[in-house]
Amino acid sequence: MANTYTQIHIQAVFAVQNRISLIQSTWEDELYKYISSMVAKYDHKVLQINGMPDHVHLLMGFRPTQALSELMKELKEDSSKWINTRGFVNGKFSWQAGYGAFSYSKDQVPRVIRYIQNQEDHHKRQSFLEEYEELLKIHEIEYDQRYIFKSIE
């Protein structure tokens, strides 16, 4: 759209169904490349992607040409199909319902990139649930404890 100028940086966080550690190091790079190509297909830009076996962090430059909820739905559905088609897991792979999305100013982007790059070290000190609740609190997002990503009990 002519005369529309934006600078929107979004970190999306989403988890494997039941927080099972299914994302293996043998194929995680392929997964991140696939998700990145999907983000680009919708004319957004991946600034950093990384995660752990049970969740993914995606920082992107987001264009207001699409609803974030629509993009996340497409990313999760298509990447689940991609994983299942390749037989990377025994049984059926799926992402847990929902996601977290957090916005950042341009001057915060380098710090968030480093944070996402260092997920493995970070999770030696803090669990995913602790990390996720901290993000919600930092961004002053009200939440219902019943709907926070849960692991299998």
| Six token digits for residue 88 | 């990377």
CB-CB neighbours of 24 under 10 Å: 11
pLDDT tens figures, 113-148:
999 999 999 888 988 888 888 899 999 999 887 777
Q: Transcribe 75-102 into DSSP letters.
A: HHHHHHHHHHHHT-SSS---BPS--EEE
With beta carbons less than 8 A apart as the criterion, state whether 58 and 32 touch: no
Element (H, E) at 47: strand 45-52
Rg, the chain, Cα only: 15
pTM for the model: 0.90
| 142-151 contacts at long range (C-beta below 8 A, 24 or more positions apart) | 147/98, 149/15, 149/19, 149/55, 149/96, 149/98, 150/18, 150/19, 151/18, 151/19, 151/20, 151/54
In whole angstroms, what separates CA 32 from the centre of its chain? 10
pLDDT tens figures, 41-96:
999 999 999 999 999 999 999 999 999 999 999 999 999 999 999 999 999 999 99
The domains located in the chain, with CATH, are 9-147 (3.30.70.1290)
